[in-house]
Amino acid sequence: MASAFTAGISQARNVLPGYGQEWGGYGKRFGSSMASGASSHLFGTFLLPAMLRQDPRYFVKLHGSAGQRIGYAVRRVLVTRTDGGGEALNWSGVIGALFAESLANSYLPDEERTAGKTFTRFGIRMGFSAVSNIVKEYWPTIFKSLRISRLVPSEQSDPGTVTPPRPTIPPSKP
């Protein structure tokens, strides 16, 4: 749904003019958006986190001042949890976004395939990650104020006080 919306906005603004207009241009923009999202998830949510033993999920803070919560949300773009429960530089999120934008050079119009434009798209992607985290941080508060309790995380979901559960692996049998 998001790809259809962003492709429509891009079509109206003639972003990526190399794709042209009409339905063919819209289809190329839609496909480009879908491919970009899929590659970002492949690298940043699956492959790299598995290899680097990092947890790509975002855990809301829920408590603290607005500045603390926004700072936490922005910080999580660069710092993530490890599978061992500690924190580490979010290599999977950063390198995954860079890999996704580099891969985009294979399907974007020729004029978009420069190093400068690749890093610009990467920067925009990282900025949107921060905004996405801020929205995730305040989404439970919005639902709570609307009294929609089914979608509000429990009070114990504050990652500052509760560590996410680690999977238990049964001992292997010889």
Residue 27 lies in a domain: yes
Number of other CB atoms surrounding residue 137 within 10 Å: 22
Residue 159 lies in a domain: no
Decide: helix, strand or coil at residue 56.
Answer: coil
Question: What residue numbers bound the domain in which 11 lies?
Answer: 2-153
Residue 145 lies in a domain: yes
Q: Rounded CA gap, 24 and 21, in Å?
A: 7
Count of structural domains within the chain: 1
Q: What are the tens digits of pLDDT across the range 95-142?
A: 999 999 999 999 999 999 999 999 999 999 999 999 999 999 988 777
Residue 80 lies in a domain: yes
**String of DSSP letters for 67-124:** HHHHHHHHHHHHEEEETTS-EEE-HHHHHHHHHHHHHHTTTS-GGG-SHHHHHHHHHH
44 near 56, Cβ under 8 Å? yes
Residue 95 lies in a domain: yes
Residue 174 lies in a domain: no
Residue 172 lies in a domain: no
Residue 13 lies in a domain: yes
Q: What are the tens digits of pLDDT across the range 33-78?
A: 999 999 999 999 999 999 999 999 998 887 889 999 999 999 999 9
